[in-house]
């Protein structure tokens, strides 16, 4: 699969975009100017955490969040199925 449909829910707004393979969920939100929260881009700060509402994702090994399997650091996560629905928890 060379591209994936991702639906972002950020600050009560829903946006559907297409991401090329190898683009993280956070990068996709930044490319499309959706104003996600983030800081380090390296999997350390957890500012980019979001909830996977549906769909499959691939988390870079070592950055899995064990307590909440559906909660991920989006700077370390790639969409795997199409579509993926991801919600940033700002509200």
Binding site for ligand FES (CB under 6 A): 38-41, 43-48, 73, 75
Of the two residues 6 and 48, which places its CB atom closer to ligand FES in the complex?
48
Which of residues 1 and 22 has its CB atom nearest to ligand FES in the complex?
22
Please list the alpha-helical segments (H only) found in 1-91.
25-31
Residue 17 · residue 9 · CB < 8 Å = no
Measured from the CB atom, the residue of 21 and 39 that comes closer to ligand FES is 39
Q: How far apart are CA 77 and CA 63, in angstroms?
A: 9
Please state the φ and ψ torsions of residue 27, each to the nearest 5 degrees: -60, -40
Considering the complex, what minimum distance in angstroms separates the CB of residue 77 from ligand FES? 9
């Amino acid at each position: 699969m060379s591209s994936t449909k991702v639906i972002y829910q950020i600050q009560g707004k829903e946006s559907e975009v297409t991401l090329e393979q190898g683009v993280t969920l956070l990068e996709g939100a930044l490319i499309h100017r959706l104003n996600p929260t983030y800081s380090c881009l390296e999997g350390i700060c957890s500012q980019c955490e979001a909830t996977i509402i549906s769909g499959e994702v691939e988390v870079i090994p070592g950055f899995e969040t064990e307590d909440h399997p559906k909660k991920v650091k989006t700077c370390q996560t790639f969409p795997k199925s199409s579509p993926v629905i991801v919600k940033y928890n700002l509200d």
